[in-house]
């Protein structure tokens, strides 16, 4: 039994907890390693477990009601919530143990759902569930996305026809994706990023303050508003140029932000209307049609970036050292959100209900975890600052991206003389 590691997952009710703990004791006595998992609220109240069963490992998961199931509006809402949250949390726990080299060898029946299938891909530092894959790879992907895989296939065919190991330059850096960059042997995949203006990164060119290709012009001066806010107090929200939220989702986001009681700067399209909330948030928020994202992310008042997790937004948040509340919608955003939460550890991913809506309580809860004074938020802030430092190191003289780009340029010079 030395190599036996058993995961016991327990519904957070006394009638379930008591026999489950007794079962755990028996397993421990027989030489097994046991991890006991139940909700955050239950673990908090089980104060005697550590002294009573010191050999038992505890692993809590959020059921969506961390103050206890009685805070749920009704039993049906709680059951839906625990299924949604529990499925993802337990899948992550299982994969984390796999990645640590201490996998569970046996598990009691756990929550079932789409997340149950575990996928391993070469070069990726994490195991993935099916729900972590880019949406275009799902059989249920809308017809509107059907162009994507054929387009990628065509790009690879072009590279293959070149006949030699082609160099592919990527907006990333070695420290961020070391394993992934080396996991593709067929091509010479090389990180040369972050590709963002120097003024926001290494500072070698302080006049380089924008990309220079903005398709939308600034119409609202938001800098004075940011200057008036305390350090790390502002939530910045931007969800890309294309996605439009449903009216219900916009309402839940607005309510979650209001409940957070934090000032927020929200970049939103004109057709994502917030008119009904303007009066209520006028002293808490600034809502604009466009802003310079790096200018905002680099401002000391910004403490959290609520984002759709497009790659540019991800790498800009990392280079700026800002923790993230991940709200992915489609394509690679979903996998990026997985990396943010479980590998780079700079933020949290919001969990939607079965109906696909992220509720206000979930938004407010995650914002408090990130921006509050707790240990988890502090860990995310420290991780964000560490990635900021590594991003700067990559582009400095002698840094990985700087060196990679020089090698590329040197090869171009050689080829031009042949």
Transcribe 182-221 into DSSP letters: HH--SSEEEE----S-GGGTT-S-TT--S-S--SS---S-
Q: Looking at residue 213, what is its pLDDT?
A: 67
- Close Cβ partners of 188 (under 8 Å, ≥ 6 residues apart): 165, 166, 167, 168
Q: Which of 30-39, 213-222, 284-293 has the lowest mean pLDDT?
A: 213-222
**Least confidently predicted of 51-55, 172-176, 340-344, 383-387:** 51-55
One of 16, 106, 299, 417 is an active-site residue; which one? 16
Q: What is the pLDDT of residues 304-343, one digit of tens each?
A: 999 999 998 999 999 999 999 999 988 899 999 999 999 9
Q: What is the pLDDT of residues 366-378, one digit of tens each?
A: 999 999 888 999 9
* Identical fold between 5-116 and 164-395: yes
pLDDT in tens, 350-362: 988 877 899 999 9
pLDDT band at 144 (very low <50, low <70, confident <90, very high): low
Q: Of the candidates 354, 355, 353, 249, which has an alpha carbon nearest to the alpha carbon of residue 306?
A: 249
What's the predicted TM-score (pTM) here? Answer: 0.74
Distances (CA, A) of 336 to 59, 130, 177, 203, 239: 25, 14, 12, 27, 14
Domain 164-395: CATH class, spelled out: alpha beta
Q: pLDDT tens across 96-119, in order?
A: 887 777 787 766 657 544 445 677
- CA-CA distance, 314 to 321, in Å (whole number)? 11
Domain ranges, ordered by start, for the chain: 5-116, 164-395
pLDDT at 109: 55
**Among this protein's residues, is 16 annotated catalytic?**
yes
Query: Residue 45: is its pLDDT beyond 50?
Result: yes
The count of C-alpha atoms lying within 13 angstroms of the C-alpha of 71, restricted to the half-sphere facing its C-beta, is 10
The mean per-residue pLDDT over the stretch 69-97 comes to: 78
The CA distance from 58 to 27, in Å, is 15
Question: 330 or 399: which carries more pLDDT confidence?
Answer: 399
Q: Alpha carbon of 58 to those of 35, 36, 377: distances in Å?
A: 6, 5, 21
**Once rounded to an integer, what is the mean pLDDT over residues 149-158?**
83
What pLDDT sits at residue 175? 96
Instruction: Say what the pLDDT of residue 1 is.
Output: 42
122-136, 332-346, 387-401: least confidently modelled range? 122-136
Residue with tokens 């984002």: 307
pLDDT at 275: 67
Q: Per mean pLDDT, which of 62-66, 195-199, 265-269, 346-350 is the most reliable?
A: 346-350
pLDDT on residue 257: 95
Among 130-139, 202-211, 373-382, 392-401, which is the least confidently predicted range? Answer: 130-139
* Chain position carrying tokens 């990164």: 201
Burial label, 404 (beta-carbon count in 10 A; 0-12, 13-18, 19+): buried
What is residue 186's predicted lDDT score, i.e. its pLDDT?
87
* Ramachandran area for residue 250 (φ above 0: left; ψ -120 to 50: alpha; else beta): alpha
pLDDT at 334 (0 to 100): 92
Pairing of strands 264-267, 234-238: parallel
Q: Let me know if domain 5-116 sits in CATH 3.40.50.2000.
A: yes
């Amino acid at each position: 039994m030395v190599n036996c590691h058993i995961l016991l997952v327990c519904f957070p009710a006394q009638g379930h907890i008591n026999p489950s703990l007794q079962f755990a004791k028996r397993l421990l006595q027989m030489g097994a390693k046991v991890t006991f998992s139940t909700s955050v609220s239950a673990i908090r109240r089980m104060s005697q477990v550590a002294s009573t069963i010191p050999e038992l490992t505890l692993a809590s998961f959020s059921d969506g009601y961390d103050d206890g199931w009685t805070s749920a509006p009704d039993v049906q809402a709680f059951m839906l919530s625990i299924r949604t949250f529990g499925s993802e949390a337990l899948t992550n726990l299982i994969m984390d143990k796999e990645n640590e080299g201490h996998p569970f060898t046996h598990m009691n029946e756990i929550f079932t759902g789409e997340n149950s299938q575990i996928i391993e891909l070469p070069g990726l530092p994490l195991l993935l569930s099916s729900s972590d894959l880019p949406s275009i790879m799902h059989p249920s992907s809308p017809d509107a996305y059907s162009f994507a895989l054929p387009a990628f296939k065509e790009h690879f065919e072009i590279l293959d026809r070149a006949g030699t190991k082609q160099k592919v330059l990527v907006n990333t850096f070695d420290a961020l994706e070391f394993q992934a960059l080396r996991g593709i042997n067929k091509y010479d995949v090389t990180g040369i990023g972050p590709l963002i203006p120097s003024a926001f990164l290494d500072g070698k060119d302080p006049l380089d303050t924008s990309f220079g290709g903005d398709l939308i012009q600034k119409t609202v001066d938001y800098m004075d508003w940011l200057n008036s806010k305390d350090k790390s107090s502002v939530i910045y929200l931007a969800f890309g140029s294309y996605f439009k939220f449903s009216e219900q989702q916009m309402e839940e986001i607005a309510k979650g932000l209001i409940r957070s009681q934090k000032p927020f700067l929200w970049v939103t399209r004109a057709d994502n209307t917030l008119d009904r909330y303007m009066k209520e948030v006028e002293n808490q928020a600034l809502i604009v049609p466009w802003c310079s994202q790096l200018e905002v992310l680099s401002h000391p008042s910004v403490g959290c970036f609520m984002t759709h997790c497009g790659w540019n937004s991800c790498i800009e948040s990392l280079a700026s050292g800002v923790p993230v509340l991940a709200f992915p919608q489609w394509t690679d955003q979903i996998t990026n959100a997985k990396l943010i939460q479980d590998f780079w550890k700079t933020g949290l991913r919001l969990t939607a209900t079965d109906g696909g809506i992220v509720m206000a309580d979930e938004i407010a809860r995650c914002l408090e975890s990130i921006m509050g004074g707790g240990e988890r938020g502090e860990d995310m802030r420290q991780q964000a600052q560490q990635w900021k430092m590594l991003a700067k190191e990559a582009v400095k003289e002698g840094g990985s991206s700087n060196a990679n780009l020089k090698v590329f340029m040197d090869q171009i010079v050689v080829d031009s003389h042949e």
